[in-house]
Structure 1
Amino acid sequence: MNSEHQTLALILFSVFIAVTLGITTWVSRNRHGSAEEFYAGGRLFSPMENGFAIAGDYMSAASFLGISGLIALFGYDGLLYSVGFLVAWLLVLFLVAELVRNCGRFTLADVVAARMSERPVRIAAGISSVVVSVLYLVAQMVGAGSLVGLLLGGSGAAARTLTVIGVGALMVVYVSFGGMRATTWIQIVKAVLLMGGAITLTVLVLLRFHGNFGQLLTSAAERSGYGARFLGPGLRYGGDWTARVDFMSLGLALVLGTAGLPHILSRFYTVPTARAARRSVVWAIGLIGGFYLMTIVLGFGAAALLGPDRVRASNASGNTAVPLLAAFLGGGAESTGGAVLFAFVAAIAFATILAVVAGITLASSASVAHDLYASLKRRHARQRSEVAVARVAAVGIGAVAIGLGLVAQDLNVAFLVGLAFAVAASANLPVLLYSLFWRGFTTRGAVWSVYGGLVPAVLLVVLSPVVSGSPESLFPGVDFQYFPLQNPGIVSIPLGFLAGWLGTVTSGEEPDERRHAETEVRSLTGAGAV
């Protein structure tokens, strides 16, 4: 794109950044510095507001950039991400949302520690939450780098590095000064913009094919070079047994991982009641469902109108398919219409990244302060000191995410999020479900469940083709690949459940029936909930 078009996109970026910084400044002047204000926004949001914020938190760069790119490159196999991300919310609605709101206060560890020995459980849950959050943050950093690298063309390498650093700095500012209230409003604004952009592009794609979705699929298959195979399973996850098992592993991680994501669970504490939390999820499902249906149209639209080769030439992982499609639909990258539409979509994608990283950073810094720090310093800690620790933790987490984001710049963002989901489903979901539904669950079972899912999941990722052993790996020049699958979920998720069961039956600990009864009554009725 020429310099004028680049300038237009950068102006739109700057406008959104200015608006979000304005929101953060306004909120920071009206806060009173309590932990409830910083972590939960005072619990004052309505179900509709929180539903939009949940959707804004969940519809990340992986959704807008990564999924459409995977569909454009691999057709049917890319659909698994859209389906998995949406189906996961049924589990959240029916099993998690209301119970978590009643049992917890700020973090996942609040729910688990309600009837356990607090210190070991909080440390385990806090470590797991931070690991999941950092993995998720890396995906957003990679998406931001890919977007700005495309925008600035020849200076892409340096621009991607500076963008990753800039996004990290902005997320620290949002969280440190605005807390949950500012983060929520940023997510609401972003959700509205993202839905508007997705609807606009979807309508333009369908108009190209006169509203005939069948014609769109046929054109995508013809342009792909794979013919009818493009519309059936197997291009990415077909062939040998390894690819097929990887497909099942990914699906398992996507469906089960959402209920264990710290930044999603923390959103249920921003509403006043459990009923409001449940209604928030209903709002979120409506928005998220509509959005993921549109990513299917955008992915096949990019395959039909641009072709996989053009998408791959811009970014090998397909992360830039939607911005390229926007430029094409507007009349081409060199036209004014193409430049305006490209800039609009690029700004929305950038807004998406900023909003999501703010939510994830807030959740992970809350885990550091409320779980790790407070569990070690509980007798001497005050609310204000805990909030101060959370702000410092945001800086540290941002620095780690920036470093990893620079290393992983060539991986698909949806794929990176799939790894985060696998770790969340392995370490967080088993302990959460056991705590809510198993009367005999013990402290040892909780600790073993977290570490029994977390350690294998992370270890298997390190030993997988993602990190070494292939040209597409993070470190293609070395080979310490011993695990054949790219996603560890099919192994690590059962291990998390198994470790929790094994720890409980071998602990010899007598469950506290009184505390369990109190937790059960509170989870089901809301009596005594904060």
Structure 2
Amino acid sequence: MKKLTNTLALAGLGLLSSPVFAAALEGQAEKQATNWTAIIMFGAFVLLTLWITKWAASKTKTAADFYTAGGGITGFQNGLAIAGDYMSAASFLGISAAVFANGYDGLIYSIGFLVGWPIIMFLMAERLRNLGKFTFADVAAYRFQATPIRALAASGTLVVVAFYLIAQMVGAGQLIKLLFGLDYWMAVVLVGILMMVYVLFGGMTATTWVQIIKAVLLLSGASFMVFMVLAKYGFSPEALFADAVRIKTDLAAKGLLAKALETDPSATAETVAAAAAAKGQSIMGPGSFIKDPISAISFGMALMFGTAGLPHILMRFFTVPDGKEARKSVFWATTWIGYFYILTFIIGFGAIVLVGTNPEFLDAKGVLKGGGNMAAIHLANAVGGNVFLGFISAVAFATILAVVAGLTLSGASAVSHDLYASVFRHGNVDSATEMRVSKMTTVALGIIAVVLGIAFEKQNIAFMVSLAFAIAASANFPVLFMSVLWKDCTTKGAFYGGFLGLITAVVLTVLSKSIWVDILGNKTEIFPYASPALFSMAAGFIGIWLFSLMDRSEQAAKERVAYLDQEIRSETGIGAAAASSH
């Protein structure tokens, strides 16, 4: 009798009639209809960008044109392009999906991604432009032996690019699958082919202009989404958050109710309601995504310092004419990116209130159609209908293509410029041969990206990018930082320390839950934390410091003396213009 009473009381909460519960009872959900509005906008964007690629191809004559657009991009243009490069699928789709799933905790991505920019602005941007030519390895190898340092830089670049590419391909595949009704693998292959076309024919000039156009469209679209969400709440974020807590409480109660009816005969309406209220309120506090202090510190370090080690971002500083324009680039990029991350937070909460309870966007199990990464896309439909959905989908697709093109370009330059031209041929190679190797690498990277994109289909794309950041923070950033700012750093220190950071980051990443459990199917992870950065960054810096101090060779002594010349060049830019024109 008590069990029957409790069951009736729980049902009396009014939860059995919820859209999610009803959807679960209906059985198989209808397949998502092909969105012709979105497809037309997709087509228009693809044609526009292919035209830009054709135009850029006519201007791409030399390796300098291909890698750095001939150094002719202004600071403002480059700032927008950097923002376009940085506001990736992980930022737009992944962060909003993380906020949709975890509430306030998802904000750690926005804060972590953003706070790396002051480091780049004050420590890196001008020095990079003054010391480098095409890639950040040029900077690291300025006073060191070229062969080992370029081998290290290319290895770090390729691993970071691989992890970053996975996230973009997963986002693109899920997006096209949702809108076109294609199989996921076909969607990923389509993106891979388009990406290769952009990079093969247009190089950095095409990539830059695709990124600028995409940044303007994305900022405009996200601003409109946030305006429409806040308009429903009288432009009161507090009212929006309160409604999100109420909805999460209701959704939690439904899940707890079903569980109680099945497994816990002692549950009462009061205990279920109290537990649901606690779960709903939890979205306004930390702890639902990052579970412990070490994970929080390690995750934050990856996002913050990884920014200063991302090869495709660092490469953009060589597209401007001088150090002053490099600093201006970072200022404008920080402005646009900071504004955008505020928008993604509101978009995530908007998705909770307008998407999470709408059966139109849920499948038979009450899960978002297209997967959790599609929260922002469904919100576009909720606030602006089919036309705005088409626009945002096309922009999200543009976002992915622009970022993938930049990543592929940095990976191709690492192989052709750092490995082939500098390590294997010792600089004895002409521009045409180097470009041919670069284009072959582009095709290979495209194929790898497609294969990995299919393998990692179910992962949150913002989380996949955080792993790329952890590797960049552990391998690239320590080498760059120490080579530019510490006079006692040597080739051996940078080489062994950099590889120590890289290997530690990759091994701990593989042993973490995201790969060891979710991809490889093991029951429990070996490495228990969300990110390896705290441990692998420490390994990288300590390795560089220790091996440099132990290096008493004649070569090391010369490198320490050469630091003064490097410092003058990095601080003043004297000689930089002449070097970059060769």
Q: Distance in 2 between matches of 1:69 and 1:30?
A: 39
**1:103-142 equivalent positions in 2, closer than 5 A:** 103-142=131-170
- Please tell me the residue identity of whatever aligns with 2:486: W
| Partners of 1:131 and 1:246 in 2: CA distance | 22
Who is 2:464 aligned against? 416
Aligned to 2:202: 178
- Check conservation: 1:220, 1:305, Cα contact below 8 A: no
Alignment of structure 1 residues 487-506 onto 2, 5 Å: 487-506=531-550
What CA distance in whole angstroms lies between the structure 2 residues aligned with 1:424 and 1:130? 10
Q: Secondary structure at the match of 2:525?
A: coil
**1:280-320, Cα deviation, whole Å (9 max, x unpaired):** 11011111111001001101111122238967712696200
Change in Cα spacing, 1:516 to 1:418, as seen in structure 2 (3 Å) is same
Q: CA offsets, 1:314-349, max 9 Å, x none?
A: 26962000011111113xxxxxxx211211111110
In the alignment, which of 284, 294, 300 is matched to residue 231 of structure 1? 284
- How large is the RMSD of aligned CA atoms in angstroms? 1.7
Aligned twin of 1:189:
213
| Greater Cα offset, 6-15 or 404-413 | 6-15
**Whole-angstrom distance in 1 between the partners of 2:203 and 2:55:** 12
Indicate conservation of the 8 Å contact 1:259/1:425, yes or no: yes
Distance apart, 1:269 and its partner CA: 0.3
Give yes or no for the alignment of 1:451 onto 2:499: yes
Q: Within 2, Cα distance between the matches of 1:173 and 1:316?
A: 27
Structure 1 residue 519: Cα displacement: 0.8
> Per-residue CA shift, 1:420-477, capped at 9, x if unaligned?
00000000000000011100110001101220111011111111111133xxx0133x
Distance 1:447 1:437 in 2: 16
Equivalent residue, structure 2, for 1:333: none
- Of 341, 359, 377 in structure 2, the residue corresponding to residue 323 of structure 1 is 377
In structure 1, which of residues 41, 44, 53 is the aligned counterpart of residue 81 of structure 2?
53
* Counterpart residue number, 1:335: none
CA contact (8 A) 1:72 1:308 kept: no
Give the corresponding residue for 1:291.
Answer: 340
* Cα distance, 1:83 vs structure 2: 0.9
Map of 2:189 onto structure 1: 165
> What is aligned with 1:339?
386
Of residues 483, 507, 511 in structure 1, which corresponds to 2:557?
Answer: 511
**How far is 1:514 from its partner?**
4.2
Secondary structure at the aligned position of 1:467 is classed as helix
Q: Which is further off, 305-314 or 186-195?
A: 305-314
Distance 1:288 1:317 in 2: 25
Greater Rg, structure 1 or structure 2? Answer: 2
Shift of 1:150: 2.1
Aligned residues of 2:174 and 2:370 also touching (Cα < 8 A) = no
Report the CA distance shift for 1:246/1:379 in structure 2 as closer, same or farther (over 3 A): closer
Q: Offset at 1:515?
A: 2.3
Residue aligning to 2:13: none
User: Matched residues in 2 for 1:450 and 1:167: separation?
Assistant: 33
For 2:31 and 2:487, the matched residues in 1 are separated by: 64
Tell me the distance in 2 between the aligned counterparts of 1:494 and 1:316: 39
- Partner Cα separation in structure 2 for residue 364 and residue 275 of structure 1: 27
Contact 2:174–2:371 (CA under 8 A) maintained in structure 1: no
Conservation of the 8 A alpha-carbon contact between 2:59 and 2:65: no
How far apart, in 1, do the equivalents of 2:140 and 2:212 lie?
Answer: 29
1:307 corresponds to: 356
Moved over 6 A (4+): 1-4, 308-312
**For residues 344 and 169 of structure 1, what CA distance do their matches in structure 2 show?**
22
CA contact (8 A) 1:253 1:422 kept: yes
The residue number in structure 1 matching 2:474 is 426
Q: Which residue of 1 aligns with 2:223?
A: 199
Paired positions, count = 510
Deviation at 1:483, TM superposition (A): 1.2
- Partners of 1:449 and 1:499 within 8 A in 2: yes
- The 1:324–1:390 alpha-carbon spacing in structure 2 relative to 1, beyond 3 Å, is same
Look up the match of 1:334.
none
1:508 is displaced (CA, Å) by 1.7
Contact 2:150/2:418 (8 A) holds in 1: yes
Q: Which amino acid aligns with 1:305?
A: L
Higher mean displacement: 385-394 or 261-270? 385-394
Q: 2:60 touches 2:69 (CA, 8 Å); kept in 1? A: no
- Aligned to 2:575, the other structure's residue is in SS state coil
For residues 220 and 483 of structure 2, the distance between their equivalents in structure 1, rounded to whole angstroms, comes to 40
Tell me, what secondary structure is at the counterpart of 2:373? coil
Distance in 1, matches of 2:119 and 2:557, equals 27
Q: Which amino acid aligns with 1:451?
A: F
Residue of structure 2 equivalent to 1:30: 59
Q: Which amino acid aligns with 1:277?
A: A
Question: Relative to structure 1, is the Cα distance of residues 80 and 119 closer, same or farther in structure 2, using a 3 angstrom cutoff?
Answer: same
Q: Is the 8 A contact 1:146 1:315 kept in 2?
A: no
**Residue type at the aligned position of 2:283:** F
**Separation in 1, partners of 2:213, 2:166:** 23
Q: Does the CA contact (< 8 Å) of 1:172 and 1:398 recur in 2? A: yes
Tell me the alpha carbon deviations over residues 54-89 of structure 1, each in whole angstroms, 9 at most, x when there is no partner.
000000000110000110110111000011111111
Give yes or no for contact 1:55–1:284 (8 Å, CA) kept in 2. yes
Equivalent in the alignment of 2:71: 43
Identity %: 44
* Structure 2 CA distance for aligned equivalents of residues 482 and 514 of structure 1: 45
Are 1:258 and 2:258 matched, yes or no? no
- Which of residues 80, 97, 100 is equivalent to 1:69? 97
Out of 439-448 and 243-252, give the one that drifted further: 243-252
1:521 is aligned to 2:550: no
Is 1:437 aligned with 2:474? no
CA-CA distance at 1:30 after TM superposition = 2.6
Counterpart CA distance in 2 for 1:2 and 1:495 is 49
Find the counterpart in structure 2 of residue 355 from structure 1.
Answer: 402
Partners of 2:357 and 2:188 lie apart in 1 by 26
What whole-Å deviation, never above 9, does each CA across 1:200-256 have from its counterpart, x for those lacking one?
101000101110110011111111122322101111223xxxx44222211110011
State the match for 1:405 in structure 2: 453
Structure 1 residues 456 and 308: alpha-carbon distance in aligned structure 2, compared to 1, 3 A threshold = farther
2:431 to 358, 371, 383: 383
Q: Give the equivalent residue in structure 1 for 2:232.
A: 208
Distance 1:502 1:460 in 2: 22
Per-residue CA deviations over 1:470-513 (Å, capped at 9, x if unaligned) read xxx0133x357321123211211111111111211122233324
TM-score, L = length of structure 2: 0.85
- State the SS of the aligned residue for 2:562: helix
| 2:320 counterpart (259, 262, 271) | 271
Report if the CA contact (8 A) 2:120-2:308 is conserved.
yes
CA distance 1:200–1:527, shift in 2 (3 Å): same
- AA aligned opposite 2:460: N
C-alpha distance in structure 2 between counterparts of 1:327 and 1:494, whole Å: 45
Paired residue type of 2:532: P
Q: Secondary structure at the match of 1:468?
A: helix
- The offset of 1:3, in angstroms, is 8.4
How many angstroms does 1:145 deviate by? 1.2
Q: Where does the alignment leave 5 or more consecutive residues of structure 1 unmatched? A: 331-337
What is the TM-score of this pair, normalised by structure 1? Answer: 0.93
Matched, 1:219 2:243: yes
* Amino acid paired to 2:429: A
CA distance in structure 1 between the aligned counterparts of 2:231 and 2:480, rounded to whole angstroms: 46
Q: Deviations over 1:71-108 (max 9, x none)?
A: 01101110000111111111111111111111111111
**Distance (whole Å) between structure 1 residues aligned to residue 490 and residue 33 of structure 2:** 63
Structure 1 SS opposite 2:219? helix
